Amino acid sequence: MTAKHISNASLAGVFDRLRGTSVLGPISTEGLSWLHRVEAASAPSGSIVEALRRPRAAQSAKGSLLAASEPVGRYGRDAPAATATETAALVLLGVRACELRALGYLDKVMLGGDFDDPTYRARREATTLVACDCAECAETCFCTLVGGRPFATEGFDVNLTPLKEGWLVEAAGEKGAKLLEASQLADAAPAQLAERDKLRAEITERVRSQNAKYGFSADDGNQPQLPEGNDDGWGRFAADCVECGACTNICPTCHCFYLYDHTPSPETFERVRTWDSCLFGTYHRMAGGVNMKLSPRPNLLSRLANRVLHKFTYSPQQYGLLGCVGCGRCIDACLGAIDIRDVVQELSK
Amino acid sequence: MISGNPYVPQPAELIEVIDETPTIKTLVLKPATPMPFRAGQFVQLTLPGVGEAPFTPSSSPLEPNRIEVTILKTGAVTDRLHECKAGQTLGLRGPFGKGYPIEKLAGKDVLVVGGGVGLAPLRALILALLADLGKIKRMSIKYGARCTEELLFRKQHESWTKGAKVDMAVTIDRPQAGWSGHTGVVTTLLTGMDIDKSNAMVFVCGPTIMLRFVVVTLVGEQFRSDQIYLSMNRRMSCGMGLCGRCNIGPYYLCKDGPDMNYAKIENYPNVF
């Protein structure tokens, strides 16, 4: 489908009209771009347009599809019969290429096996993805080291490319094409398409050059060779880890969870799925008595190794996809200043 | 894809509680709708409002209306499950996992090695094989428990070994008054066995430390690692390969196990 063009003012107008619906998008706050419920935020639509030109948001959109903690089912004598609940439509605004790749990964995990996560499926199907090329990158962005690029050509409904004057708008898939058709926007000029290509080449080169010192290059079909979790090499990094779980919380692909039950009323029981972290000592905790090993990974070193190996070694074997998309959020979030690029570079030597 | 909400257990009536040993009980469950399972597949048993824990049924897969789960009292959920009374409603999810590779056992010498409550899941295998003994060459069961009181399914051992194809050896850890049988840990039953090693498949279930030493002994007895299946009933939670808790390398024990071919996992750390 032909690319379209929209001005800054018109785009702000589109966001104004979206305020009646559920939109999660970036808003600039203290130099960072944060994801907010746009309909609840007081920020003017112009500041959303501005935030789209900033680097990827500080937090991932994962939580809007896989909530930090939510009921996934009810049972018991007085539990209401299971009915298909209406899931509110959601627009994810300003999603970056790394995030789209992460969503592709989550889709494979949550929907690609013998069992579906019904809550995830309902949310995913009710979500419209409005992606956006990266006009800027964070210092920690490293998508190019893991086979990504700072712009997407698929996996979204609509994609925006920030130009010097206004925005280029493109659609992928049926839903996006319909949206774009309804917009009645003017076709983009050939010079605007050329500008898009030039900007994309420039930002890709910027991400590449800021990561040039890292001597590895991975993609879904080509992984760095990392040692298993009994290698002492992990020790240097484990020594800096404080087991806070920030990296797993902020990671757009980390999806491990814990299930627990509670009792809202005497004969109604609710099962809750809540984020968990494989770095926590309690994560693999098993039942057992005295003299029994209660965790297969009692050492932090092996837990940290397991997390990184899951990203770079196990996920490609399980899903044919790397579990790291190079968003760099874990580097920003780490209290122990662990940089996953250093970990991979040093241990894959 | 399997339909319905896989997080929600279906109701199952507890129709009988059998005291097996001072620390082990068998809960006999009647699921609201029959739950067909293959020997070695596991279920998540819910005590409403308290939580759930993974168990491989100890009963025959030929009876999907009457599922027996044999439980050692060993933690928050199992302590409470031991307090359950007949008539209560519990919950079941599943079955999950692959189950024992029974189709690969035609013409084989099958060696079954159990430790303590580990004989429970193996009973489903034993009963499945007993129901179709013509297929395998023979079955040899080696079982060890701490003391005579902890010997599981003791009254049934004789019925398992009625046929010429099946033999069973039992040991307890230390000599005890009234016990004239073998003493020592279960690995002492595994040396110098009269078994066609090149044609054998071994199924092992028991505490982690027992699995470890059984593997060492079997490898010392010239079994290949791909002949050995270990029950790796770890902290499995969702049962569907989603929650990530039970991995050994790229394998999720809930999806790829819970009985894992040792050749697949032997090179990963933290297996035991």
- Structural domain contains residue A320: yes
Name the residue among B131, B54, B130, B133 with its Cα closest to residue B94. Answer: B54
Same domain, A115 and A199: yes
Residue A40 confidence class, pLDDT cut points 50, 70, 90: low
- With 60 as the cut, is the pLDDT of residue A258 above it? yes
Same domain, A240 and A322: yes
- With 90 as the cut, is the pLDDT of residue B78 above it? yes
- With 50 as the cut, is the pLDDT of residue B111 above it? yes
- Structural domain contains residue A217: no
Does A69 lie at the interface with B, CB-CB under 8 angstroms?
no
**How is residue B30 written in tokens?**
């009647």
- Structural domain contains residue A291: yes
Same domain, A168 and A272: no
Which one of B2, B8, B88 would you mutate to disrupt binding with A, by most A Cβ within 10 Å of its Cβ?
B8
User: What per-residue confidence (pLDDT) applies to B2?
Assistant: 55
**Residue owning tokens 């809550």:** A119
- Measured at the alpha carbon of residue B84, what is the angle toward residues B231 and B58, in degrees to the nearest 5? 30
Average pLDDT over residues B87-101: 96
d(CA B231, CA B251): 14
Selecting from B6, B78, B248 the residue whose C-beta is nearest the C-beta of A115 gives: B6
Whole-prediction pTM value? 0.95
Residues near A237 by beta carbon (within 8 Å), at least 6 away in sequence:
A304, A338, A342, A343
- With 90 as the cut, is the pLDDT of residue A48 above it? no
Residue A12 confidence class, pLDDT cut points 50, 70, 90: confident
Selecting from B2, B49, B209 the residue whose C-beta is nearest the C-beta of A269 gives: B49
Same domain, A33 and A129: yes
With H, G, I as helix, E, B as strand and everything else as coil, classify residue A108.
Answer: helix
Which one of B72, B242, B248 would you mutate to disrupt binding with A, by most A Cβ within 10 Å of its Cβ?
B242
Hey, how many other C-beta atoms are within 10 angstroms of the C-beta on B5? Answer: 18
Mean residue pLDDT across chain A: 92
Which CATH code fits B102-231?
3.40.50.80
Same domain, A249 and A200: no
Give per-residue pLDDT as tens, A290-339.
Answer: 777 788 899 999 999 999 999 999 999 999 999 999 999 999 999 999 99
Average pLDDT over residues B91-119: 96
Residue A85 confidence class, pLDDT cut points 50, 70, 90: low
Q: DSSP class of residue A85?
A: P
Residue A41 confidence class, pLDDT cut points 50, 70, 90: low
Average pLDDT over residues A264-293: 89
Secondary structure tally for chain B: helices H, strands E: 6, 15
User: What per-residue confidence (pLDDT) applies to B15?
Assistant: 98
Give per-residue pLDDT as tens, A149-159.
Answer: 999 999 999 99
The alpha-helical segments, DSSP class H, found in chain A are 8-18, 45-52, 62-65, 97-111, 118-125, 173-183, 190-210, 235-238, 246-250, 300-309, 315-319, 329-333, 340-347
Q: Considering its fold, how many domains does chain A have in total?
A: 2
User: What per-residue confidence (pLDDT) applies to B3?
Assistant: 59
User: What per-residue confidence (pLDDT) applies to B263?
Assistant: 98
Average pLDDT over residues B50-75: 95
**Residue owning tokens 């398409």:** A193
User: What per-residue confidence (pLDDT) applies to B1?
Assistant: 46
Are B235 and A258 within 8 A, CB to CB? no
d(CA A228, CA B232): 20
Angle between helices A45-52 and A8-18 (to 10 degrees): 120
Average pLDDT over residues B186-197: 95
Same domain, A28 and A122: yes
Which CATH code fits B10-95?
2.40.30.10
- With 90 as the cut, is the pLDDT of residue A17 above it? no
Same domain, A48 and A111: yes
User: What per-residue confidence (pLDDT) applies to B235?
Assistant: 76
- Structural domain contains residue A95: yes
- With 50 as the cut, is the pLDDT of residue B116 above it? yes
Give per-residue pLDDT as tens, B128-170.
Answer: 999 999 999 999 999 999 999 999 999 999 999 998 999 999 9
Chain B residues in contact with A256 (beta carbon < 8 A): 243-245
Residues near B26 by beta carbon (within 8 Å), at least 6 away in sequence:
B17, B18, B20, B58, B68, B69, B70, B71, B120
Peptide bond into A26 cis (omega under 30): no
Chain B residues in contact with A255 (beta carbon < 8 A): 242, 244
Question: What are the distances in angstroms from CA A170 to CA A99, A159, A306, B193?
Answer: 18, 5, 39, 71
Give 3-state DSSP helix, strand, coil % of chain B, rounded to 5: 25, 30, 45
Q: Per DSSP, what are the bridge partners of residue B141?
A: B112, B168
Selecting from A72, A114, A262 the residue whose C-beta is nearest the C-beta of B1 gives: A114
- With 70 as the cut, is the pLDDT of residue A63 above it? yes
- Structural domain contains residue A226: no
**How is residue B233 written in tokens?**
């009933």
- With 70 as the cut, is the pLDDT of residue B234 above it? no
Of the residues A210, A240, A258, which one is the last residue of a structural domain?
A210
Same domain, A62 and A170: yes
Domain span holding position A29: 4-210
Selecting from A258, A285, A292 the residue whose C-beta is nearest the C-beta of B207 gives: A292
Average pLDDT over residues A178-195: 93
**Domain extents for chain B?**
10-95, 102-231
Q: Please report, in angstroms and rounded to a whole number, the separation of the first and last CA atoms in chain A.
A: 45
- Structural domain contains residue A219: no
User: What per-residue confidence (pLDDT) applies to A215?
Assistant: 86
- With 70 as the cut, is the pLDDT of residue A91 above it? yes
